[in-house]
Structure 1
Amino acid sequence: MVKRYYCDYCDRSFPYSVEARKKHINGYQHQKLWTLHYNQFKTAREKLQEELGKEKCRRFYSGQECSFGNACIYSHSTVGDLNILKEEVYRENEAKRCSKLQSERGDSSEPSLEKWIFKKLEGGEADTKFSIHDETEWESHFKNPQGMQSVASLPPSLIPPTPDSLLECNFQDWG
């Protein structure tokens, strides 16, 4: 029995041989489908750089129909299309900037564990203080429900944190 080569991009198979595989991979249909597949994963910045690097298609811009369509090696993008891509690049950059951690953005105010706990547990009221070093307050806020306390071997994600374990964490090394 002859081994067969299956191409995921083209959804077709053929008897495997080095020559047949090379011929298929260098073929127009495979190249077109491969490009269409990987273009969907490109960022707006990559698409814009690619379009700006291409020459304009003479047939397309003279009003004639380009027989290559989307597979044309020249650019079919209009000024409006380029402006839309530029807006997408701007939105991507803003989303990246907003998703960065506070320390990566260069904000000078370093978040502290005590501020976070105070904000979460006390609702941000200024008249109450919560110290992470007070064990009785800590245990009253961070304890498992009644049903979970009787379980002998809890996974690490369900074991309540201790003040010492949180203070020993180096948050800049995470991720």
Structure 2
Amino acid sequence: MGKRYYCDYCDKSFADNATNRKNHLMGVYHQKQKKAHYDSFVKRDPAKILAESSKLPLCHNFRTTGECHFGVNCRWSHVTDQVREELENEIRNKREASIKQRQEEEKVPTLEEWLDKRAKRLKTEDDVKSGIPEPSDEAAVYQLPVYSLPPSLANIPNLPPSLLPPLPDAYKYLPLEEWG
């Protein structure tokens, strides 16, 4: 007796040679079993499950015993009334959540919110035009860096101005410009 090939997806074994293995792997039953195996790890959309199960009547074996020896290959539905209600509730909750999210995205600001936002925008435009920024919440975003001389250059006398760090107040009153 030669080597035998066992397929975990199909729960079958057969003589292991190139032709038999190729025929099995390309077969419809193997492809269906393989798809069912990988689909068991993916959460399916409840709307699709409900649509597929509503087309088919409930499996007689599943209805009477609670199990079906055909499993995922059964041509009848295995969705009970209780599971159907759970799927409908899940679909309803998803729909309500998406409507709520859409309403939050399309939320119209109140008059007070709009006026506050406008006042802040006008204040920052006036500050930029005058060239002297006032300390505000946005000033914290534009903190100027503090430069220092590297220790290797500290002992060298008469450094050229291009190597000296700028004074802390050198850029304080320059207008902020937008680039690009």
Q: What is the TM-score normalised by the length of structure 1?
A: 0.50
1:125 corresponds in structure 2 to: none
1:75 corresponds in structure 2 to: 77
The CA deviation at 1:68 is 1.1
Q: Would the alpha carbon gap of residues 99 and 23 (structure 1) be closer, same or farther in structure 2, given more than 3 Å must change?
A: farther
1:123 corresponds in structure 2 to: none
The CA deviation at 1:138 is 9.0
Q: What is the TM-score normalised by the length of structure 2?
A: 0.49
* Runs of 5+ consecutive residues of structure 1 not aligned to the other structure: 1-8, 120-128, 150-161, 166-175
CA distance in 2 between partners of 1:95 and 1:146 (Å): 44
CA distance in 2 between partners of 1:38 and 1:59 (Å): 23
Cα offsets for 1:62-84 (capped at 9, x unmatched): 33742112432211221111000
Largest Rg, 1 or 2: 2
Letter in 2 for 1:83: E
CA distance in 2 between partners of 1:30 and 1:83 (Å): 32
Q: Is the 8 A contact 1:60 1:66 kept in 2?
A: yes
Cα offsets for 1:1-22 (capped at 9, x unmatched): xxxxxxxx89xxx9877x9556
CA distance in 1 between partners of 2:18 and 2:95 (Å): 45
Letter in 1 for 2:138: H
2:97 corresponds in structure 1 to: 95
| Regions of 4+ moved over 6 Å | 14-17, 162-165
* Runs of 5+ consecutive residues of structure 2 not aligned to the other structure: 1-8, 11-15, 148-175
Q: Is the 8 A contact 2:58 2:80 kept in 1?
A: no
- What RMSD over aligned residues (CA atoms) do the two structures have, in Å? 4.6
The CA deviation at 1:101 is 6.7
The CA deviation at 1:61 is 1.8
Aligned residue for 2:65, secondary structure, equals coil
1:133 corresponds in structure 2 to: 125
Q: Would the alpha carbon gap of residues 140 and 56 (structure 1) be closer, same or farther in structure 2, given more than 3 Å must change?
A: closer
**Aligned residues, how many?**
129
